[in-house]
Structure 1
């Protein structure tokens, strides 16, 4: 199992880094190439979503195609003000609606094919956020992606060492409040040493704001992780799919990023515009 996980990482990580850093950043061809890369991720995740959410019939079969078309249409509306509105709406979901969802444990099965709308609300803002953040530069996007990795690693090790108080035992029994605190501390340290100049106006932002952003994005990471765990537990699935050998599915790898990316993009666009 460990060997399979390592091989998958060794194959995928260079591909992702190559796409982030070496796909052209200017011109119509470069823009189309990066959109296509993000679109492939959206299609794979949407295929997993229709299985995870219990969608059925024709809607389930064509859902990945519909997602690709809708994503392509939205990419034609890449105006900063429109994007900021979309990112703020997605952020409100993760900050205000998601905690209520986790508390109430609303079942996906009750919505049937209407889960298509929820899937788009979860997936599409994250895909658009990848385009927004890469427009600030490859290092800016990578820095945001790394927050999920730092938060997850710090939470894992601190939870293993100190975890006593369960965070959400009925959703994800392995997570603890001590792990969350460790994740927050880890991301704050990461952000403290992060070169701020990779973000537009980043150097002008006081450190206290950066640390506050670290706390917000770590909280978003936890929310994204817990929500997918809830969905999988409700339907009795361990992984969203087997697309990534040893790692489960695409959504298993990007669950926290679904929340982090739109929140980070909203913060970036707000500072960029105002």
Structure 2
């Protein structure tokens, strides 16, 4: 299993980095290539979502294709910063306020049946569009946001293994601990401290306290994104969202934290861009 996991990572990571750094930037004739790359992620994630959420019949069959079409349309139609900011703020409200309630009440996806088509879009589309927006700030800017999830997950894992005693959410994800969450936050704070602030528009004008506050917010939503997907899988009795990524489970298993981080980070970025 470890060998398979490592081999998959060795294939996927260079592919992601090549796409981020070498596909043409937005505003050029090659911008369609990056949108298409993000669209492929949306298709895979939406295919897993229709399985995870218990969609049935024709809706389940067409959902991945319909998601790709809507994503492509939104990437072309929602093109002003103010429109994008409104969408990202709406997604941020979901992650910051609705998700804690969801985790507390443990609402069941099965109760919504095919209406989960809407929830899936609310989770997936803002994150996909955020990938497009943040890349306009530059490949390093996007990579630095993605790295928040990786740093948080890695630090939480090692701190949890070493010091974990108090369960964070035993009925949702028994392996997670408060000590691990604290380690993840510490890792992101250290990462943010050393992060070159000029990668973002007027980033160097923000105080260190503001940057660290942003780090706390993004780490918090990262944990909630992880827990929310774990809750969905537990409710339906699935270990992984799929087997698309050998050794890693499914696409949603790899991007659960990013679904939350990306729109919130994008909302913060657009706010400074506009105001």
TM-score of Structure 1 vs Structure 2, range by shorter chain: over 0.9
User: Aligned ranges for residues 139-178 of structure 1 at < 5 Å?
Assistant: 139-178=140-179
* Alignment map for 1:39-50 (pairs within 5 Å): 39-50=39-50
1:197: how far off? 0.7
The answer to whether the aligner puts 1:80 opposite 2:81 as a matched pair is: yes
Residue correspondence of structure 1 range 64-143 to structure 2 within 5 A = 64-76=64-76, 77-143=78-144
- 3-state SS in 2 of match to 1:78: coil
5 Å matches for 1:206-221? 206-221=207-222
**Structure 2 runs not aligned, ≥5 long:** none
8 Å CA contact 2:26–2:136 kept in 1: the answer is: no
> Which ranges of structure 1 fall in alignment gaps of 5 or more residues?
none
3-state DSSP class of the match of 1:167? strand
CA deviation profile, 1:116-169 (whole Å, cap 9, x unmatched): 000000000000000110000000000000000000011111111111111100
Q: Distance in 2 between matches of 1:165 and 1:7?
A: 33
- Counterpart in the other structure of 1:33: 33
Q: Which segment drifts farther, 155-164 or 55-64? A: 155-164
Q: Equivalent residue for 1:58? A: 58
- What is the CA-CA distance between 1:26 and the residue it aligns to? 4.2
* Matched residue, 1:265: 266
Separation (CA, whole Å) in 1 of partners of 2:80 and 2:33: 19
**TM-score scaled by length of structure 2:** 0.99
Extract structure 1 runs of 4+ deviating beyond 6 A: none
Shift of 1:28: 4.3
Aligned residues: 274
> Once the two structures are superposed, what CA deviation does each residue of 1:58-108 show, in whole Å capped at 9, x if it has no partner?
000000011011101111112100100000000000000000000110110
Q: Secondary structure of 2:29's match?
A: helix
User: 2: CA distance between counterparts of 1:246 and 1:12?
Assistant: 12
How far is the alpha carbon of 1:27 from its aligned partner?
3.9
Distance 1:143 1:229 in 2: 25
1:41-61 deviations in whole A, cap 9, x for unaligned?
Answer: 000000000000000000000
DSSP 3-state at the match of 1:216: helix
SS in 1 for 2:174: strand
